[in-house]
């Protein structure tokens, strides 16, 4: 084929070949644009999942810290809880003190009733509950 003077058939063949190459490249470009959009959407979805996982991790760490505080308080070292620390820091001792106070209140209540016909209620069970 001569570029300066092609025959009608040669020109038509080259036209259709060029048109085919152009259409293939255009289809590849459109496919690449769709793939890029899909990747962008997938990236946004993964970013959302990462944010959710980060929130769950922080929530989980907070719950673990709360469990450590409770276990520490139950073991008697206060566990770092401000409320427990302000009460002496030792949950077993705090419970013992509350029970002792309940027993003292129950004894005081029973002794305050002077009528022999009345049996006073046992407030110890109420206080412990």
- pTM > 0.75: yes or no: no
55: tokens are 């929130």
**pLDDT tens digits, residue range 81-118?**
555 555 555 677 777 888 888 888 888 887 887 777 77
pLDDT at 81: 52
Give me the mean pLDDT over the 44-73 stretch. 92
pLDDT at position 34, please?
97
Average pLDDT over residues 15-36: 96
**How far apart are alpha carbons 99 and 119 in whole angstroms?**
22
- Does an H or E element contain 52, and which? helix 8-75
**What is the distance, to the nearest Å, from the Cα of residue 120 to the centroid of all Cα atoms in its chain?**
52
Q: Which pLDDT belongs to residue 46?
A: 97
User: What is the spatial distance between Cα 122 and Cα 111, in angstroms, rounded to a whole number?
Assistant: 12
Percent of the chain at pLDDT > 70 equals: 83
């Amino acid at each position: 084929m001569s570029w300066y003077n092609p025959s009608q058939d040669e020109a038509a063949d080259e036209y259709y070949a060029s048109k085919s190459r152009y259409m293939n490249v255009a289809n590849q470009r459109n496919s690449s644009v769709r793939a890029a959009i899909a990747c962008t959407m997938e990236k946004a979805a993964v970013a959302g999942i990462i944010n959710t996982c980060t929130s769950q991790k922080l929530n989980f760490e907070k719950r673990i810290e709360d469990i450590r505080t409770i276990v520490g308080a139950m073991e008697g070292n206060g566990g770092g809880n401000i409320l427990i620390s302000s009460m002496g820091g030792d949950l077993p001792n705090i419970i013992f003190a509350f029970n002792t106070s309940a027993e003292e209140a129950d004894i005081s209540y029973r002794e305050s009733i002077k009528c022999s016909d009345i049996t006073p209620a046992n407030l110890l069970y109420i206080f412990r509950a």
